[in-house]
Structure 1
Amino acid sequence: MSDSWVAQMWEEEKISEKVSDMTLRSQQTSQQQPALPSAVPKVTVSDTTAPSAEDDEDNKSLSAAETSLLTKVLRARLVVSKNNVEVLRQDPNSPLYSVKSFDELNLRPELLKGVYDMGFSKPSKIQETALPLLLAVPSRNLIAQSQSGTGKTAAFVLALLSKLDTSKNYPQVICLSPTFDLACQTGEVVKQMAKFYTDVRISFAVRGERVARGTKLDSHVVIGTPGTTLDWVLKLRVFDPKKITVFVLDEADVMIDTQGHQDQTIRIYKTLSPDCQMMLFSATFDDKVMKFAETIISDPIILRLKREEESLDNIKQYYVTCSNEDDKFKALSNIYSVISVGQAMVFCRTRRSAMGLAGKMSKEGHAVELLTGESTPDQRIAVMNRFRDGKVKLLVTTNLMARGIDIEQITMVVNYDLPVDQKGQVEFETYLHRIGRTGRFGKSGLAINFVDGHRSFQQLKKIEDHFGKKIEELQAKDVEEIEEAVGDGQ
């Protein structure tokens, strides 16, 4: 094992190199210009044009794993939720309590220092309820639902690190994620929180990490994907699963969505001791997640932090009348020119029109980003990093980004093309999801819709009638009126 990175001590930084690899790739990519086509075709979208089957490919959503990864990338800081944690099931003989500070948890000084060094000043909603339960003696099994950005990863990382006995040189914790990149994200949190807890050693059971059969790991924590971890347990036998005291399943909803992961996870679970503490965390809490959870977790306490619902109540809606494609571009340029605070997403009907618009905006000297179904995972991460960091204010995209991705600083959404299907029928749910990218977490938002003819105006009226919300007209040539509207959305 002396030649393998998995056996190196934490301070030798081999772990850091592995878990930071994805971040470094993103940083390298982010130094380049947005990946726009060198020769952008002139695209004219008439009032009666509906997307072809080929162009309509971007109407499919990102996979659950991609959505989760991009959301984690965006969550550079904790999102404050106004919702309280619901306790759906608990042991009546075990009183439930919460903490309002990390000092109340009686953590190791090294861990407490790591928590504060990460910028956590006090526990989030999910942390203040979950942590006392996870750290209690005897251990309790837990199922917790809370969306990305609310601190659930930090909660289970703090719990698993607190459970370690670093004088024992063998794995005591398994933490499973559904993909390589998500495992790396979790590993980065572990590394940061254990910054001052230098005795901790970690191995990554992910693709590309080879260990010889019969080798005995001396790491304390194994972070991995189900397939590789199962190989390490059953085929290579590099550690004894009966000695695992904590088993964490992160991104359970994504795990269920990924082929084969359920079966692999259950096979790993069956090798564990009956006394092993089980922790399951998920961003969603539907029947499939619960059925999966209850297959491997007995008598759990169940916590749920309600998701912020998409609502039109705090989003001001406008429409802009345009005669043609050039008019739409001029209107967007005028709107872009007055975005002084916050950022905007622009939704196009097709991948082709999004590419054309982004290319034209770029040629006019505007700093924009393009995100479509043709973007690679690395490109998407790089784009989201730049957008999150405020290096660009305008993101041109398709329905690909209409759901699931919450960007706190988005104050405006522009429907360059209204969401309609191939028959020209309005997709009301897509409209709600699109404009729901703004006005997140109780903030005010602004949605501007472009209409370029009789048919699109009728479609807009159907949207207005469907949601029972008045959509006011905005004069895009009037800079003062735009500034006032944008101000309302901030």
Structure 2
Amino acid sequence: MSKEVDNITLKLDDLLTSKAPAATTPPPPNPTGALAGDNDDDDEDQADNLIQSTQIVQVKLADQQADPNSPLYSVKSFDDLGLTPELLKGIYGMKFNKPSKIQERALPLLIQNPPRNMIGQSQSGTGKTAAFVLTMLYRVKMQVKAPQAICLAPSRELARQIMDVVEQMSKFTGITTQLVVKDSYRRNQPIHAQIIVGTPGSVTEVIRRKMVPTRDIGIFVLDEADNMLDQDGLGDQTLRIQTMLNNDIQTVLFSATFPDHVRRFAEKFAKNANEISLKREELSVDSIKQFYVDCDSQEHKYEVLVNLYDLLTVSQSIIFCKLRTTADEISKRMIDQGHAVLSLHGKMTPEERDKVMDDFRRGEFKVLVTTNVIARGIDILQVTLVINYDLPMDRAGNPDYEAYLHRIGRTGRFGRTGVSINFVHNKETWEKMAMIEQHFQRSIELIPVNDWEEVEKRLKRVL
């Protein structure tokens, strides 16, 4: 049989809104400029109703057996996947009434036998987590009381969130699970859980210490895979874990973004993989209204943030800073002024980080000031406003487009309306923001700061 690779293009109708007109470069900083027109679209009522679109998903199949016209290739109901009654009960108990479009295409390929690797890329909030969690649960052999699936995430916050999904989906199955992040397990005590979710450093340690037997592990999942494979970040640890596992393991990579150099590496990491991906220029989240404010200085940035506080608490908001010292300073100053905010960054203890995220998820605090530690993958549906207090930059001092996309993707989840506001305070930061606008071809509109009552009224209509 021919080993040629088929390239098949499919419509992904519910994934994104129709492509907006190309953006124009914003005008030079002008604190008296007018606010763009309002968006009166109503929020979606249900999390599983994704907004209509004509965007394209490209599917690269590893061989010609995966016929896009066959039942194997796409499903319209979870009932068509041949799942156990217990697993189906867990899925429907989570209010997943039918597969999202990315799940329609990915799940039949993920659970086919013999197992095949997959590289999946799609916008935040489209059902990636449920797709790979369901695949792990499907692969578990109940009679084998040993680890059979490992899922890695770049942060403890995301690992805990994935574990929550695993536990909800598997609650009727009897499948055992273990979270493997710092301080979540006992050192030198064997781990027999069938599914392990953790961060690269902790998972490396438990395998190296022989706490986790690897002979029965059949599936290896990376969430936020572009970050996990970036050799400037977590790549070395991730590669080390792969070398400790069986050669014939099913490898599944999912992310909202894949820079070109990481995609090339991913194709070597997950060889002969089926691929499902959105074109990069289509990844901008069109349900998020993007604005910027023109500040005079770093101190003026803080003053503007305080003036925005009432808007921050309309539902829930996340403020992203470059440095953890900035996050701590902002939160301390706001708390001293009587505002209820939380701070989160990587130098906090595991217990502190867990408590902050749990309190924020429960809605006990409306405003979270943080670094990029939760820029990826975190799902909190009540978040409607993201502020880039500092624009995300790479090590070369250029805009980090992937980080920007992940940050603003914390709002507008599952097609809901969201708002992002970028703070610029000099010519350099304005130019970087203009580069971001040009890259994604989406307009970033100026918010004037000379009439706060008008700003609040207009933004509340969007929120």
TM range (shorter): 0.5 to 0.7
Q: CA RMSD in A?
A: 4.8
Q: What whole-Å deviation, never above 9, does each CA across 1:406-457 have from its counterpart, x for those lacking one?
A: 6665444556678999xxxx96658993984676466352526476xxxx4x
Unaligned runs of at least 5 residues, structure 1:
1-76
**In structure 1, what is the Cα distance between the partners aligned to 2:155 and 2:297?**
48
**In structure 2, what is the Cα distance between the partners aligned to 1:104 and 1:148?**
25
**In structure 1, what is the Cα distance between the partners aligned to 2:353 and 2:160?**
17
Match of 1:262 among 234, 239, 259: 239
CA contact (8 A) 2:207 2:213 kept: no
In structure 1, the residue corresponding to 2:66 is in which secondary structure?
coil
1:325-474 aligned at under 5 Å gives the runs 325=299, 331-339=304-312, 341-346=314-319, 354-372=327-345, 374-397=347-370, 400=372, 404=376, 409-413=382-386, 433=404, 436=408, 440=412, 443-445=417-419, 447=421, 449=423, 456=426, 458=427, 462=431, 471-474=446-449
- What is the one-letter code of the residue matched to 2:207? T
Percent of aligned positions that are identical: 32
Inter-CA distance 92–460: structure 2 relative to 1 (3 Å threshold): closer
In structure 2, the residue corresponding to 1:302 is in which secondary structure?
strand
Aligned to 2:5: none
Q: What whole-Å deviation, never above 9, does each CA across 1:87-107 have from its counterpart, x for those lacking one?
A: 123321332321122122232
CA contact (8 A) 1:345 1:413 kept: yes
Inter-CA distance 341–295: structure 2 relative to 1 (3 Å threshold): same
Aligned to 1:118: 94
CA shift, 1:316, in A, is: 5.2
Match of 1:86 among 58, 79, 91: 58
- What is the one-letter code of the residue matched to 1:337? D
CA contact (8 A) 1:266 1:296 kept: no
In structure 1, the residue corresponding to 2:130 is in which secondary structure?
helix
1:234-313 aligned at under 5 Å gives the runs 241=215, 244=216, 246-251=218-223, 252-256=225-229, 257-270=234-247, 274=248, 278-283=250-255, 284-286=257-259, 290=263, 293-295=266-268, 297-305=270-278, 309-310=283-284
- What is the one-letter code of the residue matched to 1:475? N
**In structure 1, what is the Cα distance between the partners aligned to 2:204 and 2:177?**
17
CA shift, 1:262, in A, is: 0.9
CA shift, 1:113, in A, is: 0.6
Inter-CA distance 196–282: structure 2 relative to 1 (3 Å threshold): same
CA contact (8 A) 1:101 1:122 kept: yes
CA contact (8 A) 1:345 1:410 kept: yes
Q: What whole-Å deviation, never above 9, does each CA across 1:193-239 have from its counterpart, x for those lacking one?
A: 222223x4557788635467xxxx9875566724533654xxx8957
For the pair shown, which has the larger CA radius of gyration, 1 or 2? 1
**In structure 1, what is the Cα distance between the partners aligned to 2:84 and 2:459?**
48
Q: What whole-Å deviation, never above 9, does each CA across 1:51-72 have from its counterpart, x for those lacking one?
A: xxxxxxxxxxxxxxxxxxxxxx
- What is the one-letter code of the residue matched to 1:280? V
CA contact (8 A) 2:293 2:447 kept: yes
**In structure 1, what is the Cα distance between the partners aligned to 2:114 and 2:306?**
61
Q: What whole-Å deviation, never above 9, does each CA across 1:379-414 have from its counterpart, x for those lacking one?
A: 34433443344333333346x469546666544455
Aligned to 2:291: 317
**In structure 2, what is the Cα distance between the partners aligned to 1:172 and 1:419?**
38
Aligned to 1:9: none
TM-score between the two structures when normalised by the length of structure 1: 0.61
- What is the one-letter code of the residue matched to 2:455? I
Inter-CA distance 405–157: structure 2 relative to 1 (3 Å threshold): closer
Q: What whole-Å deviation, never above 9, does each CA across 1:247-306 have from its counterpart, x for those lacking one?
A: 223334454324343134124223xxx5x6x13123243456555555565533222256
1:139-218 aligned at under 5 Å gives the runs 139-146=115-122, 149-166=125-142, 168-169=143-144, 171=146, 173-177=148-152, 181=156, 186-198=162-174, 200-201=175-176, 208=186, 210=188
In structure 2, the residue corresponding to 1:269 is in which secondary structure?
coil
CA shift, 1:342, in A, is: 3.1
Unaligned runs of at least 5 residues, structure 2:
1-46, 439-443
- What is the one-letter code of the residue matched to 2:419? G
TM-score between the two structures when normalised by the length of structure 2: 0.64
